[in-house]
Amino acid sequence: MTAWYQTFAWLADPANWAGPGGIPARLGEHVVYSLVTLIVAVAIAVPIGVIIGHTGKGRAVAVQLSGALRALPTLGVVLLLALWLGTGLGPPLVALVVLALPPLLAGAYAGVSAVDRQTIDAARGIGMTETQVLFKVELPLAMPIIIGGIRSGALQVIATWTVAAYLPVGGLGRFIYDGYAVQNYAEMLGASVLVIVLALVADGVFALIQRLVVPRGVVVGRASDVRVRSSKRLATTSQSTTAG
């Protein structure tokens, strides 16, 4: 229990809230690093994933590649790139972007390929072009699962930037390693609490976005499903909503 009192004391100490090494500065760094990583990764992975989902080509390669990337130990990749490419933010950024690709790719292709074939055929049937099918039918319907992939990626990025602070970079992980070096457990624990809160907040924000991007027509359809109260229907709808 004393560890927690000391932690709250550390968190409440105004000295820890000021300057370039203070809590707001480190938190800001962590958020900015994570956002930049995520934006770059999304820009690479989502278009590729959507194309795979739309054409159905390259799916096996994407699955294999995501699986292989998942086996890579993040810490090792981050440190290896730092040795090869030198110090600064660049090397860990490259490593983290690569490691964030699998969930984003998986979300994008799973989301698009999960769209009902009949819906797509109907869209073609009423004369939509391929581009219209993609942007007006497939993408809106896939959006909750695509955002789900980004949500997973965001959590991973926040977690990995914490570990990556082993290098001389900023972010909340800085407190953990600096605290470890001088055996200041309160500082490590305080920073850990901050990272956990940041991860939970980010998860909550993405959960909210995931809800907001569900197309209106689909929401209406779901509401009527609930009213039917057939157990099989309920099972299928709950599965589709938890898929991300």
The answer for residues whose C-beta is within 8 angstroms of residue 239's C-beta and 6 or more apart is none
Which has the closest alpha carbon to 210: 189, 241, 238, 237? 241
Cβ nearer to other proteins, comparing 103 with 170: 103
Among 58, 128, 203, 215, binds other proteins (CB under 8 A): 203
Which has the closest alpha carbon to 170: 19, 43, 44, 9? 19
Q: Is 22 left (phi over 0), alpha (psi -120 to 50) or beta?
A: beta
122 part of the interface to other proteins, by CB under 8 A? no
Q: Which stretch binds other proteins (CB under 8 A): 14-22, 134-142, 145-153, 213-221?
A: 145-153
Closest contact distance (angstroms) between CB of 167 and other proteins is 8
Residues 224-243 that bind other proteins (CB under 8 A): 235, 238-239, 242-243
**Alpha-carbon dihedral angle through residues 176, 177, 178, 180, given to the nearest 10 degrees:** 90
Closest contact distance (angstroms) between CB of 13 and other proteins is 19
> What gap in Å lies between CA 32 and CA 39, rounded to an integer?
10
112 token code pair: 């698009």
Q: Which stretch binds other proteins (CB under 8 A): 17-25, 44-52, 87-95, 170-178?
A: 170-178
Q: Distance of CA 227 to CAs 27, 161, 216, 222, 234, Å?
A: 45, 45, 17, 9, 10
Kindly write out the interface string for residues 78-97 of this chain, putting x where it contacts other proteins by CB under 8 A and - elsewhere: -xx-xxx-------------
Which has the closest alpha carbon to 137: 128, 127, 146, 150? 128
106 part of the interface to other proteins, by CB under 8 A? yes
Among 184, 192, 237, 240, binds other proteins (CB under 8 A): 192
Chain residues in the site for other proteins (CB under 8 A): 3-4, 63, 66-67, 70-77, 79-80, 82-84, 99, 103, 106-107, 110, 151-160, 162-163, 166, 173, 176-177, 180, 185, 188-189, 191-193, 195-196, 199-200, 203, 235, 238-239, 242-244
